[in-house]
Amino acid sequence: MFCALWLFAKGYRLLGFRLRTPLGEIDLLVQKGSVIAVVEIKRRRTIEDALHAVGPIQRDRLLRAARSVAARRPSLAEKAIRLDLIALAPGRLPRHIRDAWRGD
């Protein structure tokens, strides 16, 4: 819940928390402007480990789950969908990485 509050403070609107869909669970679904962000939260030993903890199959599943949610909510149908990561590591501030796997 801390991550949801942190994103709220950054101007995001919470659309779903631990949102269960037939295609998988979305940790956080948030909106800012015309973008819907599917936010995966990973706690690992390092920030880099957290980034690499989400593989291509999981990313594809998250994207399909977000499209499914958007299709059922008319207000979200025309929004762009982005995959974000909040990486948590001991002794470090949380790091919100927008469009975390764009280059993959």
Is residue 82 domain-resident? yes
Tally of domains within the chain: 1
Which pLDDT value is given to residue 45? 94
Q: What is the pLDDT of residue 1?
A: 76
pTM: 0.89
Residue 33 has pLDDT above 70, yes or no: yes
For residue 42, being part of any structural domain is answered with: yes
* Residue 102 domain-assigned (yes or no): no
Task: Decide: 98 and 51 in contact? Cβ < 8 Å.
Answer: no
Residue 69 lies in a domain: yes
Write out the residue range of the structural domain in which residue 12 sits: 2-97
Sign of CA dihedral 31, 35, 36, 39: negative
* Residue matched to tokens 């269960």: 20
Q: Tell me the backbone φ, ψ of residue 103, rounded to 5 degrees.
A: -80, -10
Instruction: Give domain status of residue 77, yes or no.
Output: yes
Domain membership of residue 30 (yes or no) is: yes
Does residue 51 form part of some domain? yes
Which CATH number do you get for residue 81?
3.40.1350.10
Distances (CA, A) of 65 to 1, 5, 31, 46, 81: 21, 23, 15, 27, 11
Is 7 within the bounds of a domain?
A: yes
Q: What is the DSSP secondary structure assignment for residue 98, as one 8-state letter?
A: T
Average pLDDT of the chain to the nearest whole number: 91
Whether pLDDT at 4 is above 60: yes
pLDDT value at residue 42:
94
